[in-house]
Amino acid sequence: MQAKANALSQGFIRCHDCGYLVKTVNQPSSCPRCDSHLHARHPHSLQRTTALLLSSFLLYIPANIFPIMIVNQFGAGEPSTIAGGIVELIDAGMIPIGLLVLVASILVPSSKLIGISLLLLCAHFRWQVNARRWTTMYRVIAFVGRWSMLDIFMISILVDLVNFNGVHIIAGPAATAFAAVVILTMFAAENFDPRLLWDNQQNL
Amino acid sequence: MNITHYDACPECDLLLNPNTASVGEKAHCPRCGLLLSRPRKRSVERTFALSIAGFILFFPANLLPMVGITMMGNANTGVLYSGVVALFNNGMVAVATVVFLASILFPLVHIILSLLISGHLYFNYPNRYLAHWMRWMHHLDEWVMLEVYMLSIIVACVKLMSLAKLEFGWGLYAFIALIVVTTLLTGNLDNNLFWQRIHQLSNRDNNAS
Ligand SMILES: [Zn+2]
Ligand SMILES: [Zn+2]
């Protein structure tokens, strides 16, 4: 076995679902172990990721400018955006929780959008980079994505609990947009194939 | 022949010798550093036991009240699913669906699948759907968001603390136990081992018939 060889260049495909290594000589179309479709790299990885990423960018705008939550107090509605909710928490002296929401609802989604864009550019333009570092970045992006659902779950809890005659909370239109951003970026990360970063490196 | 004596890294496609990590060791990819395998002691037995525990805990966690709130003399209690209902009544159908899937349906399906798979492996009972179940479970992994939900409960309670009186119910404790169990479950489920056992079982079944 040649040192540091790509499985694909040696004629092997790793099943994406079960990890079984299959020889490509007789070109099997499905995995002998789990029966799922075999493909050396995620099919249309860059196109799909780009499409999902662009939709997320578009939805990210309404997610941030429209109110995500409206507090109705005795008939008067007080809408708050994602950023507004964080400012309120920090003003009320709840700094650790405010920072937590800041990380989950603003830093994670925005750095995810930028990070996936960079990964796409890197894979598309075949940048010669430290692939190990970029794969780590990909892993971080894939891992933190789900934590942005924090705000959405919190709204569902608040809408449910604060439902009295005088005061009630309702979800705003930004909630739908924000949930869509979180889900689309999760799909985008899932569709990106980090092996493309390694395929493009000429001197490993 | 499709059988090979090699392995490949899922994230950098490096061709590797099959991993020989033993229990308690971790095998990392030498090129990209990915954790390739982490064999666990008695993985099938533990997964089976934890799946049963998780399945039992799922019901109190979903049906018993989690948080009670008293505000200006009015009281209200929240159950796991009542957030979904409230959002739905609010007209936020899409968001309600997402919350329902990530916090109720996917966790339940995930536990049932791991219960079915580990149960079959534990009793060495072949089933032609084992590979399908295993694939579905693998795809669901990321969409089970119980721990994120727990963090949301904490943030919501901190927000409400100064405005209202809060009380915690048995549903919340069951929910915390459910998170502990599912976390242990994912930690103890040895993917490589499970796939090997499923393959062996289906081969044995094919040879027998
Ligand atoms: Zn397979
Ligand atoms: Zn690797």
pLDDT at B1 over 60: no
Which tokens go with A164? Answer: 């009295």
Give the model's pLDDT for residue B25: 85
Q: Which of B178, B151, B42 is nearest to A101 (CA)?
A: B151
Give the model's pLDDT for residue A165: 82
Kindly report which listed range (A113-117, B61-65, B163-167) carries the lowest average pLDDT score. B163-167
Looking at chain A from residue 33 to 52, which residues have their Cβ under 8 Å from any Cβ of chain B? 33-36
For residue A10, what are the contacts with CB-CB under 8 A and spacing of at least 6? A1, A2, B15
Average pLDDT of span A21-45: 86
pLDDT at A2 over 50: no
Q: Which of A148, A197, A165, A168 is nearest to A69 (CA)?
A: A168
In angstroms, the CA A144 to CA A111 distance is 10
pLDDT at B3 over 60: no
Of the candidates B92, B103, B145, which has its C-beta nearest A175's C-beta? Answer: B92
Q: Does A157 lie at the interface with B, CB-CB under 8 angstroms? A: yes
The residue behind tokens 């990423």 is A53
| Residue A4 banded pLDDT, cuts 50, 70, 90 | low
Minimum distance, in Å, between the CA of residue A44 and any CA atom of chain B: 17
Q: Please report the number of interchain residue pairs, chain A to chain B, with beta-carbon separation below 8 angstroms.
A: 203
Per-residue pLDDT of B68-79, as tens digits, reads: 999 888 889 999
Max mean pLDDT range (B25-39, B104-118, B125-139, B182-196): B104-118
In angstroms, the CA A20 to CA A173 distance is 45
Give the residue, B103 or B206, on which the prediction is more confident: B103
Minimum distance, in Å, between the CA of residue A28 and any CA atom of chain B: 9
CA A121 to chain centre: 17
pLDDT at A170 over 80: yes
Mean pLDDT over each residue of chain A, to the nearest integer: 91
Q: How far is CA A201 from CA A122, A127, A131, A186, B3, in A?
A: 11, 8, 8, 26, 29
Asked if residues B83 and B92 have their Cβ atoms less than 8 Å apart, the reply is no
Average pLDDT of span B201-205: 85
Q: How far is the CA of A40 from the centre of ligand 2 (A)?
A: 15
Q: How far is CA B84 from CA B62, B99, B105, B106, B174, in A?
A: 12, 6, 12, 14, 19
Give the model's pLDDT for residue B208: 74
CB contact under 8 A, A150 and B152: yes
Which tokens go with A109? Answer: 């989604």
Return the ligand number nearest the Cα of A138.
2
CB contact under 8 A, B155 and A162: no
User: Thinking of the domain B42-208, which architecture would CATH place it in?
Assistant: Up-down Bundle (1.20)
Per-residue pLDDT of A136-165, as tens digits, reads: 999 999 999 999 999 999 999 999 999 888
The neighbouring-strand residues paired with A21 are A14
Looking at chain A from residue 184 to 203, which residues have their Cβ under 8 Å from any Cβ of chain B? 186, 190, 194-195, 197-199
| Protein residues within 5 Å, CB atom, of ion ligand 2 | B 9, 12, 14, 29, 31-32, 34
Pairing of strands A69-73, A167-171: antiparallel
In angstroms, the CA A201 to CA B66 distance is 52
Give the model's pLDDT for residue A45: 95
Domain boundaries, chain B: 1-39, 42-208
Minimum distance, in Å, between the CA of residue A17 and any CA atom of chain B: 6
Task: State the CB neighbour count (10 A cutoff) for residue A191.
Answer: 20
Give the model's pLDDT for residue B2: 43
Of the candidates B6, B12, B132, which has its C-beta nearest A135's C-beta? Answer: B12
- The three-point CA angle B33-B35-B39 to 5° equals 150
Beta-carbon-side half-sphere exposure of residue B57 (alpha carbons within 13 Å): 20
Minimum distance, in Å, between the CA of residue B125 and any CA atom of chain A: 17
Which tokens go with B12? Answer: 């950098």
The residue behind tokens 């119980």 is B146
| Residue B209 banded pLDDT, cuts 50, 70, 90 | low
For residue B78, what are the contacts with CB-CB under 8 A and spacing of at least 6? A157, A160, A161, B65, B66, B67, B68, B69
Q: What is the ipTM of this complex?
A: 0.91
* Contacts with A149 from chain B: Cβ below 8 Å: 98, 102, 145, 148, 152
| Residue A83 banded pLDDT, cuts 50, 70, 90 | very high
